[in-house]
Amino acid sequence: MLIAQTDKNLIGLSLADGKELWKIATPAQRMAQNAVSPVADGGTIYYSGQGNGTRAIAIEKQGDGYSTKDLWTNKEVSSTFSTPVLKEGLLFGLSDKGNFYCIDSKSGKTLWTSSDKHGERGFGSVVDAGSVLVGMTSKGEMVIFKPSEKGYEAAATYKASDALVYGGPVIAGDRIFVQDQQGVTAWGVE
């Protein structure tokens, strides 16, 4: 099954023939948009954006079709452009207010948000790098932090670019590639 966020709906499509299997309306509120990709974990789908917080649904097979069931809604934390990372039962992301956050994926409870603001209007990303997470903000700040449910703890912060950065870092072996408005920079990891 392919799961996609469109401008107005979250949909599930058959890989065999492209037919729609299920659909949930996700109208954007105010000036929000549907830019965040859904995160799938088995039959559970997590999605955010639209100015509506972060949500979890279950997809269940029923006869020849599928049904959806709301699991939880978290109105406290929402992403605008940053797709959350699911790691060890926790969702990590960059909120629409520019704070890193952690949500319990089972209950939907916000476990923490960083007190400091990273970036503007939710531009930026979080990438899973094994034992750490790498956050990239629109202001070119690369933050390495631990994936913990106990609280936000930055292990290191680097100024990766003086230009605006809208994409996530790409991690390949011992290199981290950062694309900004002016080009691409490669960082070495020791």
| Domain ranges, residue 154 | 2-188
For the chain, the domain total comes to 1
Please state, in angstroms and rounded to a whole number, the distance separating the CA atoms of residues 55 and 68. Answer: 12
Task: Per-residue pLDDT tens, the chain, 190 aa: give them.
Answer: 999 988 888 999 999 999 999 999 888 776 666 778 899 999 999 998 767 789 999 999 998 889 999 999 999 998 888 899 999 999 999 988 888 999 999 999 999 999 877 766 667 889 999 999 999 988 889 999 999 999 999 999 999 888 888 888 899 988 989 998 888 989 888 7
Contacting residues for 181 by C-beta, under 8 A, at least 6 apart: 163, 164, 165, 166
Specify the CATH number for the domain of residue 11: 2.130.10.10
**Can you give the pTM of this predicted structure?**
0.90
